[in-house]
Structure 1
Amino acid sequence: MDATEGPLAGIKVIELATVVAGPGSGRYLADFGAEVIKVEAPGGDPTRRMGWTGPGEQDAYFWKLVNRNKKVVSLDLKSEQGRADLWALVADANVLIENMRPGKLEALGFSPGALHAKNPGLVILRVSGFGQDGPYAQHPGFATIAEALSGFAGLLGEADGPPLLPPIALTDEVTALGGAFATLVAVRHAERTGEGQVVDVNLLQSMFQIMGPLVSAYAHMGYLQPRLGSGIPYTVPRGTYRCADGVWVAVSSSSDSIARRVLDLVGLTGDERFSSFQARSANREALEEWISAWIAERPYETVVAEFRRVDAAIAKVLDMRDIFADPHFKAREMITEVDGVVMQNMLANLSKTPGRLRHAGKAFGADNEVVLEPLHEKDAVG
């Protein structure tokens, strides 16, 4: 399958976004065949310099992952030529992705109204910290702030410890997925009606969506979930536990049938304190203490073998070294190599219309000639 194939072939995306959330949406579209043209300002996307860089390489691994499968051009949108080139690019595009602070796109002369006057079917994905309007719209929007405001950070950590933040770009990745999904919904509408629209996706709303029933529980019951370490209120036992040989495992019992098998295994058969979800939650500390002690008395291999024997859910807590040796990751080809860079493979496996990784994120201005020169030649002829 070449670059013109894939389920999203024929969809042209102009990406003005930087860092992770907006470009992440573009990445998922590019992985499945969309032509994504990433437009960088002079100096380049900060992701080129974010995190780890290979020996002798200028661009970081983060850049090469998030911007794989994209064409890369450089434009100075503060210049007349740069703005003219962008207008030429969006004239026949299906999607524009941007993540400037609300109002900045308008200040550059590319308001949604002006864009739709030029291209009525254009889908404009606007990724921001807090949305295009509201009291926080103009605040600096980073994942950390969204994690705090959404209620997510307040749930992370031990009961007697401070709230914590995730040690990966979780909010950006969640927002990227939401942005790609919402964009395809809007593209479907445009294909049917010819009408483009603005898609307003932001870090705060994306994280708020994953808070599950906590919104309803507070609204109707006044319930505020406390910090529970690795636990959650409605599944007990659930958490990470240390085996006798120091290996950590994760256990979950998110159904009554599995919970009963775990209770039978550890010697709590018929204990009324743990007979239902509600009972187990009410007696959380006693049950967690019992499970922790049972696991702590046995080495990892024994613990896993016993849980597997009764068909209960358990897994070793892996680090990257473990993952690279894990047979399931290998069998599923979840790790691949693109242009000499080892990275995650596709997000999903489609049996009829799979995506394809064509190349890693390219060097700055790599496609200026192939993308921009035809525009200039057209202008000269015109």
Structure 2
Amino acid sequence: MTALAARERTGEGQVVDMAIIEPILAVLGPQPLWYDQLGHVQPRTGNRSQNNAPRNTYRTADGTWVAVSASARSVAERVLRLVGRPELIDEPWFATGAGRARHADVLDEAVGRWIARHTRDDVLAVFEKAQAAVAPVQDVRDVMRDPQYRALGTITTVDDPELGPLRMQNVLFRLSATPGAVRWAGRPHGADTEEVLTELGLAPAELAALREEGAL
């Protein structure tokens, strides 16, 4: 969009070059700056946070997983009361996010033990009632029946001449005036050969000759 705006001002186009690794690096936040200025290398933390706890993924009684984030102290307190460990709230280290992060093993054990005794639906209902951030960790089965994905039209059905109706990812973005659509999952081999060669200037007789020779 910036390049288009520049073209409107200057009348000249430009090359837009971006590697897929660059937005991934941007997601990492200030890690290059930390390393440059402080020599700090962020260690691997899995699903934990270095700044707050409890914040992790936990296995439920029915074999699924949920992600929980209790970043604010008030939320962390509600979670610890919910899981039956209110005594941890009185620990001096519980007062700050950094202190809770240093005791993530203790908090994960408390939260994980409680979640392991309940089904995913029960965990989600109780945590949402307590106004604690929680979400299911979805696999593709969950994605296919998720009501939010359905409302967005994230999965679309495409008629394929060989496979019949099939479901796949829809256009990544939605435009109000010019919405896109997936017309086919993949054209059959050679389906557009004649059209392409005609655009290149080959006459029908030339196409027929190529077919006779087995080139098409």
Which of the five TM-score ranges fits, normalised by the shorter chain?
A: 0.7 to 0.9
Which of the residues 37, 57, 60 maps onto 1:240? 57
SS of residue in 2 equivalent to 1:199: coil
- Corresponding residue for residue 211 of structure 1: 28
Indicate how the Cα distance of structure 1 residues 239 and 210 shifts in structure 2: closer, same or farther if over 3 A, else same: same
1:338–1:357 Cα contact (<8 Å) kept = yes
1:328: how far off?
Answer: 2.9
Q: Distance in 2 between matches of 1:364 and 1:330?
A: 32
Equivalent position SS for 2:101 = helix
Matched-pair contact (CA < 8 Å) for 2:153–2:170: yes
Tell me whether 1:322 sits opposite 2:142 in the alignment: yes
In structure 2, distance between residues paired with 1:346 and 1:226: 36
1:27-66 Cα deviation digits (max 9, x unpaired): xxxxxxxxxxxxxxxxxxxxxxxxxxxxxxxxxxxxxxxx
Distance 2:47 2:200 in 1: 55
Note the C-alpha offset of 1:324: 2.3
TM-fit CA distance, 1:365: 4.8
- Using the alignment, how far apart are the partners of 2:199 and 2:119 within structure 1? 66
Say if 1:294 and 1:376 are closer, same or farther in 2 by CA, change over 3 A: same
Aligned length: 194
- Could you tell me how far apart the structure 2 residues matched to 1:292 and 1:346 are? 38
* Matched ranges for 1:214-229 at <5 A: 214-229=31-46
The separation in 2 between residues aligned to 1:331 and 1:287, in whole angstroms, is: 36
Q: State the one-letter code of the partner of 1:227.
A: R
**Which residue in the other structure is 1:261 paired with?**
78
**Equivalent residue of 1:201, what SS?**
coil
Note the aligned Cα RMSD (angstroms): 2.7
Which fold has the larger relative contact order, with Cα–Cα distance below 8 Å and residues 6 or more apart in sequence? 1
TM-superposed deviation, 1:353: 4.1
* Native 8 Å contact 1:225 1:233 kept in 2: no
Residue from 161, 173, 179 that aligns with 1:354: 179
Is 1:309 the counterpart of 2:129 in the alignment? yes
Instruction: Give, in angstroms, the shift of residue 237 of structure 1.
Output: 1.7
1:292 and 2:112 aligned: yes
In structure 2, stretches of 5+ residues that fail to align are 160-164, 203-216
1:197 shift after superposition = 2.1
SS state of the match for residue 171, structure 2?
Answer: coil
Q: Give me the whole-angstrom Cα distance separating, in 2, the residues matched to 1:255 and 1:371.
A: 60
Unaligned runs of 5+ in 1: 1-183, 378-382
Q: CA deviation at 1:337?
A: 0.9
8 Å Cα contact 2:50-2:98 kept in structure 1: no
| AA aligned opposite 1:348 | F
For residues 78 and 152 of structure 2, the distance between their equivalents in structure 1, rounded to whole angstroms, comes to 29
The 1-side partners of 2:118 and 2:93 are apart by 25
Matched, 1:196 2:13: yes
- Determine if contact 2:52/2:98 at 8 Å carries over to the other structure: no
Match of 1:251 in 2: 68
Displacement after TM superposition at 1:270 (Å): 4.5
Quote the Cα distance in structure 2 between the aligned partners of 1:253 and 1:300: 18
Counterparts of 1:353 and 1:300 in 2: how far apart (Å)?
Answer: 40
Residue in structure 2 matching 1:335, options 143, 155, 165: 155
Q: SS where residue 202 of structure 1 aligns? A: coil
Q: Which structure 2 residues correspond to residues 133-144 of structure 1 after superposition, within 5 A?
A: none
Instruction: Kindly indicate which of the two structures has a greater share of residues assigned to helix.
Output: 2
Residue type matched to 2:174 in 1? Answer: N
Q: Determine if contact 2:158/2:166 at 8 Å carries over to the other structure.
A: yes
Q: In structure 2, how many angstroms separate the alpha carbons of the residues matched to 1:257 and 1:355?
A: 44
Cα gap change, 1:261 to 1:353, in 2 (>3 Å) = farther
Q: Letter of the aligned partner of 2:151 in structure 1?
A: A
Matches within 5 A, 1:147-162: none
How far apart, CA to CA, are the structure 1 residues paired with 2:6 and 2:200? 29
Match of 1:231 among 15, 30, 48: 48
Deviation of 1:271 after TM superposition, in Å, equals: 4.0
- In 2, distance between residues paired with 1:344 and 1:258? 36
| Post-superposition offset of 1:256 | 4.6
Q: Provide the C-alpha distance between the structure 1 equivalents of 2:157 and 2:76, rounded to a whole number of angstroms.
A: 40
Q: Which amino acid aligns with 2:60?
A: C
Q: Name the counterpart of 2:101.
A: 281
